[in-house]
Amino acid sequence: MGRLQSFQALAQQRGFTEINKSGGGTAVWFKRKAPDTARETHQRICIDGLSKSVTIYWMAVPGNLRSQTFRDVPGMEEWFELGLQTVVQR
């Protein structure tokens, strides 16, 4: 359970807020109101208690849904950091 709480804490630190729970409470969905960059348009996070993983969904271009799944908190944290650095360097 600790890893799922760590995923949730990281999501909240990155500006995501919980929007609902589904599947008998096994999945929790978050969304970000104001994206930091265009790359993060319509970003959502699903924390899945059954697979003990997190999937981040975003739309890079209208109609082009992208996703990335993480099984550990450091990997998710690194992804956020790399994404921000890439945008800043442009």
Q: What is the pLDDT along the chain (90 residues), one digit of tens a residue?
A: 588 889 999 999 998 999 988 767 789 999 987 555 555 567 899 999 889 999 999 887 777 888 999 999 999 999 988 874 443 333
Contacts of 69 (CB under 8 A, 6+ apart): 53, 54, 55, 56
Q: What is the pTM of this model?
A: 0.78
pLDDT of residue 3: 81
Encoding tokens for residue 50?
Answer: 């059954």
Q: Which of 53, 55, 28, 56 is nearest to 40 (CA)?
A: 56
pLDDT of residue 82: 83
pLDDT of residue 84: 47
Domain boundaries, the chain: 2-89
pLDDT of residue 38: 54
